[in-house]
Structure 1
Amino acid sequence: MSTLRALAKAQAVAAGVAQPVATVRHLHLAERPLVLVPLAMAGEAHAPLAALVGTAPDDARLLIVPQPRNRDQRFRFVTELAAVVLPWLDGFRGVAEAVAVDRGRDVRYRYSDAPQLWVPNPAGITFLRLLGRSTRFRRPDGDHPVHPVVPLLGRWLTFFAERAEQPGSSALLAMTDALTLHWATGQSAVEDLHLPALLGWIDPPAGRTGAQAAALAEDPQVCPPAGPATDPEFDNVLLAPAMAGWAAAADDPARDEAYAELVRLLRGQLAPTWELMWRGLGLLGALPPGARVVGRWAGDRDAFTGYAEHLDADGGPQPRHDGAVAAAVRLHRLERAASAYLVQRAYDDPLVMAEHRLTGEAFVGEVTLADPGRVDDSGKRPVLRPRIQVVTGDPVRMPVGATLWSTARPGQKARVVFVTPAADGRTEVVLELSGGMGRGLTAPPGSVPQVGERLCLTTLSEAFLPAGTFPTAEETPWTHGGPPTHDAADARGSELSSVVG
């Protein structure tokens, strides 16, 4: 936990309400998101029990499994879920846009929008990942056939689960994660996973503090769990007898009556969370989006387009396990995305940048001197190298020669020339600027900070980092999944012969 978040949590306890830790929204909000609130049966390895799904507060469709231990009923549930999800996905494939590539020498096409899926908490993401893994390899023929939409839905759910691992992606989001990204409560991180308690802190009802609202939300009779896990008392007292009644029904009228009772019970468990999900979306929608959110959403649209084209070309399901090279490439991609997301959030949000100011990675100061016309003629040809002096009250831990970037001019570098402590406890920093001023010897207006301008300078850079290079499958050693060499095969054969002999 950062110092700033710890302070915000202490302030939340004192004020009785959650405190904002962001000034902008750091994720994309779709115009037509799909909200999915799942429930799983307790004691069974990923047995779906029910789900409430829809794209609007008044458009909730309830899907239930009367007997989750029954394989046919589970796949019937998946088929019904696919009937909701797959047409919704197809609705984003109608309009494409051209994107320039190769410095404008070519174009590619991607869909102009992409689907966004919301679940209550990280456990909901795990539920979808496991549901995708258990269905994407199923076949519509052979032994134990399933409906053709079952494996297709499984592949899409796996796609969403993989996007959820991508830092900065908004394709599949957990509401608790999205809210805690923007607010700090007076409770622990584990308690923040309970959506009713979390929203109690962020938006308490009139006349109650956040702590009081969260305490009330801990009562499962008032606020049922947000899933996928259910309340044990509900399971034992209400759900188990209702399921037994459905199984013991002697005729269709009795079975219909028992089914209606299951629907009533499960809707009662899911409806409060459904309302909380849309309430959370409303709170997030009230925040202005960060400037770089649109760029990250473009990455989600690229991923959606690519996977849709993969399925159109009869591409196979995602593998159960990545090979050595694929795992390394995946890890490298996630690490690069995490680094970029960290920098982008800081550039978009002064409150996030404040955490880096506390750690000495950034400082904010006022320009007191500026020489925008300074030219450095010590090299082969003269180059424009303006200098500015910034006075700051923040601690400056950057050494002379360090390269900094300004959040107001991300394409411009600032090299630290002098760091001088002032008499009033502040620090004077002289910086030499390069980049972002054209190729001439005269800086365009606005490209050099003026006296009196307030700047935020940081070691965090948005500069492009080229992707790493990895060996092909043919170049991978056989110990890591590559093709076996003759020497290795002979060695393994000799070892086997010696063991057998």
Structure 2
Amino acid sequence: MSLLTSLARAHAVDQSVAQRLTTVRHLHISSEPLVFVPLAMAGESHAPLAVMMGTSRERYELLTVAQPRNRDQQMAFAHQLARIFTGYIGPRTNRRLPLRAGASGVQYRCADAPQVWVPNRAGIEFMRVLGRSTRFRAITGEWAVPPNIPSMGKWLTFLADRAEYAGSCMLVAATDALALHWATGQSDTEDQHLAAVLGWISPPPGMTGRAAARASEDPLEVPPAGPATDPSFDNGILEPLLAAYHEASSPAASRIAEVKIRKELQKQLAGTWERMWQAIALLRDPSLPIGAHVGVRWERDLDAFTRTAEWIATSPGAQPKRDSAVYAARRLYWLERAQQQYDAERAFDDEMVMAEARMVGDAFVGTVVAAEANRRVGRSLRPLISVATTDAVSLTVGETGLRRPDLLEQKATVVSSTRDAGTVIVELELREGMGRGREPQPGTVPALGDTVCYSRLNDDYRRPPTLPNKEDTPWTHGGPPEPYMPTEQDAQEPWS
């Protein structure tokens, strides 16, 4: 947690209401998000109990399992779930737009990608396990399941993996999205309680954020956002209903018990369903305009979605249970790369995020006190400016690649840094981003008296590490991996 975030939390406690951490919205919100609220039995290994899902606040589909430990009912549940997921994802894989012309001709990219919202991080983990439990199922043989079940499993695995990339918006935990933009007066762990976070941000009339958050702690009045149910609900309400279903002596009695189970599960999910749409509405508020780089990150999601759509359409296999050594190393590089880009882009888009970089010396804001706009080194235009700042500057002489958030194509090099009575004078040499003429284009070189910001944050391309092909994996890392083939045991595997 940064110093400024800690300070915002202290203000939230003092004022009993959440404090804004950003000036812009840092995530893409789809025009048609799929809200997915799962529920599983407490103490069970992700045994499905119910799901409420849909793309509209007014209309949803409720899927329930009357006997969560029954494999046939689990697979029937998965089949209905896959029907909804494929109906949402499928059309987005078909509509392509021309992107660029390459050596092999025009390349096409999906025009849109799915965006699934879950209540919290535990919802993301539920989807990961759900994908793991369904993508290996066989569509032929003794344990055959409908083809849409393993297909859904591949997509859920992709979405859960993609959620690990900083800035990706294809699978969003509502609690994380809210905590990215508001600081509450509670801990990070407590911020995974959706009702409590919303209580701090938007308390009901006549209540403080603190009081609203405290009121949401009663699991009987405000059921948890899942995926696990509260034990008091399991023991006092659910278990007797499940027992009645199990002991039913006729089909009619089973149907009555099933209707009662469904009714109670709907009550458990209804509040979270409304709060999910409340969270989306808060983030869509015009007072939180979209950040400049949000669209760039969504394009990266579109690229990843397009590649995966092509792979799923052409490959009969599924993602392996474990990554190979080479793929794991490559994925680690891309995760680190995504984090570097995300940190830089958020700071470039938002002065409040940039303020955190200033606190640790990675950026500074100051006033231009000297400027030599037409300075040349040889035949190259190399303007020189001096900036006076009172920020804690940790830059070193000779450091290159400093950026202005309002002119990212320009780079600056630190020529000198001197201190005078609490003020630091930083001399910078500018290059690039000034046009091709003999004189810099207007606005590309700061003038005397201008206030400017420079930071060492960057989202520049980094050459990926050179890694061997998968078949050349050295013995120190297990040697070439055997291609993974689903087995009969995978098809029989219990939900876990």
TM, length-normalised to structure 1: 0.93
1:229-285 CA distance string (max 9 Å, x none): 111111011001111111222223222211111111000000000000000000111
CA contact (8 A) 1:384 1:440 kept: no
User: SS of the counterpart of 2:408?
Assistant: coil
User: SS of the counterpart of 1:228?
Assistant: coil
1:498 maps to: none
Matched, 1:472 2:469: yes
Structure 2 distance, partners of 1:376, 1:85, is 60
1:27 maps to: 27
2:429 maps to: 432
Structure 2 distance, partners of 1:365, 1:151, is 57
CA contact (8 A) 1:410 1:462 kept: no
Structure 1 distance, partners of 2:352, 2:222, is 33
2:395 maps to: 398
- CA pair 347-315 structure 1, distance change in 2 beyond 3 A: farther
Structure 2 distance, partners of 1:251, 1:15, is 59
Q: Which stretch of structure 1 is more off in the superposition, 27-36 or 471-480? A: 471-480
Structure 2 distance, partners of 1:9, 1:105, is 53
1:64 maps to: 64
1:181 maps to: 180
1:493 maps to: none
Aligned-residue Cα RMSD (Å) equals 1.6
1:78 maps to: 78
2:192 maps to: 193
User: SS of the counterpart of 2:114?
Assistant: coil
CA contact (8 A) 1:89 1:115 kept: yes
User: SS of the counterpart of 1:91?
Assistant: helix
- CA pair 451-307 structure 1, distance change in 2 beyond 3 A: same
Structure 2 distance, partners of 1:472, 1:313, is 22
CA shift, 1:187, in A, is 0.6
Matched, 1:306 2:304: no
CA shift, 1:399, in A, is 2.0
- CA pair 422-105 structure 1, distance change in 2 beyond 3 A: farther
2:205 maps to: 206
User: SS of the counterpart of 1:304?
Assistant: helix
1:134 maps to: 133
CA contact (8 A) 2:360 2:392 kept: no
Structure 2 distance, partners of 1:474, 1:260, is 55
- CA pair 474-147 structure 1, distance change in 2 beyond 3 A: closer
Structure 1 distance, partners of 2:383, 2:176, is 44
CA contact (8 A) 2:340 2:458 kept: no
Structure 2 distance, partners of 1:182, 1:169, is 16
CA shift, 1:422, in A, is 3.5
User: SS of the counterpart of 1:92?
Assistant: helix
1:374 maps to: 375
Q: Which stretch of structure 1 is more off in the superposition, 181-190 or 464-473? A: 464-473
Larger-Rg structure: 1
Q: Which stretch of structure 1 is more off in the superposition, 475-484 or 83-92? A: 475-484
Matches within 5 A, 1:322-341: 322-341=323-342
Structure 2 distance, partners of 1:315, 1:465, is 33
- CA pair 438-106 structure 1, distance change in 2 beyond 3 A: farther
Structure 2 distance, partners of 1:315, 1:434, is 51
Matches within 5 A, 1:70-469: 70-100=70-100, 107-286=106-285, 287-377=288-378, 382-403=379-400, 404-423=402-421, 425-469=422-466
Q: Hey, which bits of structure 1, 4+ residues long, moved more than 4 A?
A: none
Q: Equivalent pairs: percent with the same residue?
A: 51
1:11 maps to: 11
2:489 maps to: none
Structure 2 distance, partners of 1:483, 1:419, is 52
CA shift, 1:429, in A, is 1.8
CA contact (8 A) 2:340 2:459 kept: no
- CA pair 148-201 structure 1, distance change in 2 beyond 3 A: same
Structure 2 distance, partners of 1:204, 1:190, is 20
Structure 2 distance, partners of 1:483, 1:353, is 45
Structure 2 distance, partners of 1:174, 1:346, is 22
User: SS of the counterpart of 2:395?
Assistant: coil
CA contact (8 A) 2:40 2:228 kept: yes
User: SS of the counterpart of 2:407?
Assistant: coil
- CA pair 309-435 structure 1, distance change in 2 beyond 3 A: same
CA shift, 1:101, in A, is 5.7
Structure 1 segments unaligned to the other structure (5+ residues):
485-501
CA shift, 1:417, in A, is 1.8
Structure 1 distance, partners of 2:459, 2:190, is 35
1:412-467 CA distance string (max 9 Å, x none): 111122223334x3222221111112344321222212223221101112222122
Structure 2 distance, partners of 1:283, 1:70, is 40
Structure 2 distance, partners of 1:368, 1:71, is 74
Q: Which has the higher contact order (CA 8 A, sep 6+)?
A: 2
Structure 1 distance, partners of 2:460, 2:328, is 25
Matched, 1:41 2:49: no
- CA pair 229-474 structure 1, distance change in 2 beyond 3 A: closer
Structure 1 distance, partners of 2:18, 2:331, is 36
CA contact (8 A) 1:375 1:441 kept: no
Structure 2 distance, partners of 1:443, 1:401, is 23
User: SS of the counterpart of 2:25?
Assistant: coil
Given residue 293 of structure 2, which amino acid in structure 1 is its aligned partner?
Answer: R
User: SS of the counterpart of 2:429?
Assistant: strand
Q: How many residues are matched?
A: 478
CA shift, 1:45, in A, is 1.6
Given residue 389 of structure 2, which amino acid in structure 1 is its aligned partner?
Answer: T
Structure 2 distance, partners of 1:107, 1:458, is 38
Structure 2 distance, partners of 1:101, 1:341, is 28
Given residue 301 of structure 1, which amino acid in structure 2 is its aligned partner?
Answer: L
Structure 2 distance, partners of 1:326, 1:416, is 39
1:185-235 CA distance string (max 9 Å, x none): 001111111111111011111111111001100001221000011111110
Structure 1 distance, partners of 2:185, 2:315, is 50
CA contact (8 A) 1:82 1:150 kept: yes
Structure 2 segments unaligned to the other structure (5+ residues):
482-496
CA shift, 1:94, in A, is 4.0
